[in-house]
Amino acid sequence: MNQINASNISSGFKTTLLNLGLSDTIADYIVDFAYLFIVLIVSVVAYYIAKFIINNFLKRLIEKSKSKWDDYLHEHKVFTRLALLLPAFVLEISLQAASSKHPEAVHFIEMGLKIYIISVLMIVMVSFLNAVHHIYDELDMAGSRPIKGYLQIGKIVTFVVGGISGISVILGQSPLSLLAGLGALSAIVMLIFKDSILGFVAGVQISSNKLLAIGDWITMPKFNTDGTVFDISLVTVKVRNFDNSVSCIPTYALVSDSFQNWRSMKEAGGRRLKRAFLIDIRTIRFIDPSVIENLHKKEIKVDHFLTGEEVKTNLGLFRCYMIDRLRQMPVINTDTSLMVRALQPNEFGLPIEIYVFYTPPDWTNFENFQAALFEEIYALLPEFGLKAFQRPSGSDVQITK
């Protein structure tokens, strides 16, 4: 019935054009152009109606739902881009009426519609993969098992399949026959996508073996890299260095070359502080009342260390005091190793090593704490009758006559 009405309208319009003195050929072209113009307007209006429904009614339903996946799909415009298919379907249905009059023109228009549909489906697929990435980032495992590389592989496959489908539509051949012909170009394809293929294989190894995760602090001298990983993609891994510069490392280089991951340091209970200072051996002696009296004047409480027989020297007393001092610091992890130990003496004196774990992850705070700790140690040594060793300078040498 609709086709009959449309035919009657077209015939009436053509009759009007003929009455105006136009030739039959020109009248046919004008009628067909007007018909195509009206169909285009109807298809565009249909798209905007669908877009209005999605942005208003569908959006309200999405906001009321408890799940977040539909919010992410709407945020990445998956539904809006699906609406782009509606004009193509309207044109496809409307062109059936004109197929008998202009079969060659309709053939080219249908070819363009197929390419348009393939392009829209590619865009929708890319938006869907972006939404999947956003949804996955909300999961707890996203940091340790990133999927950005896999999604990039999915996008490459989408573009390859879409490109082959578009070429098959233009050439009028089956996509399978085109794929069979690509066998001869496999070497060129491998060369073009070498980094992507190597990155994909490396990404699988990194993910399966948990070699790297977002937020890991890594050191890679070959690439002058020393910082925190903030992005892992198919081809590159981005690292923000300690000086806020960014290093881009090829993903496959993390598998083929060596790098140092400091994640285990955090998992072990904090950032390790392992540093020694030198004691002048000549200042080590048994504890005498003058040392205890001096410490009492400075309000340094050491009496509870003197009850046993283990502490006999001023150095032993100092070590016990520092161990107790470190245990009282809230930034020190007391559940891990905590030592103030003497190392092998050498020509420079007796090395005393501090071995503890600092819990806050910030590097700046760690360095400030370490500097303040050793400043306190050097200031305390004379109170215990000890001296730090250092080589004599020019001001230490006096010429006597």
Provide DSSP, 291-336: HHHHHHHTT---GGGSSSSS--BHHHHHHHHHHHHHHT-TTB-TTS
Q: Which residues contact 343 (CB under 8 A, 6 or more apart)?
A: 276, 350, 351, 352, 353
What type of residue is 118?
I
270-279 b/e with 16+ CB inside 10 Å = b? bbbbeeebbb
In sequence order, what are the beta bridge partners of 358? 271, 332
pLDDT at 33 (0 to 100):
67
In one-letter notation, the amino acid at residue 184 is A
Q: Tell me, what's the pLDDT at 350?
A: 93
Q: What is the pLDDT of residue 387?
A: 92
Closest residue by Cα to residue 322 from 380, 398, 382, 250: 380
pLDDT at 178: 66
Measured from the Cβ of residue 378, the count of other Cβ atoms closer than 10 Å reads: 12
Does residue 13 come out as left (phi exceeding 0), alpha (psi in the -120 to 50 range) or beta? alpha
For residue 125, give the H/E element and its range.
helix 103-137
Q: How many angstroms separate the CA atoms of 246 and 300, rounded?
A: 48
| Residue reference for tokens 């003195």 | 21
Q: State residue 277's pLDDT score.
A: 93
pLDDT of residue 27: 62
pLDDT at 163: 81
List of the chain residues with pLDDT < 50? 1-4, 99
Query: Which domains are seen in the chain, by residue range?
Result: 2-138 (no CATH), 169-263 (2.30.30.60), 268-384 (3.30.70)
Q: Tell me phi and psi for residue 268, to 5 degrees.
A: -75, -10
Query: Which residues in 67-76 are b (16+ Cβ under 10 Å) and which e?
Result: eeebbbbbeb
Residue 370: other Cβ atoms inside 10 A: 15
pLDDT given for residue 327 in this prediction: 92
pLDDT in the model for residue 2: 45
Angle value at C-alpha 29, between 28 and 31, nearest 5 degrees: 65
Question: What CA–CA distance (Å, rounded) separates 64 from 58?
Answer: 10
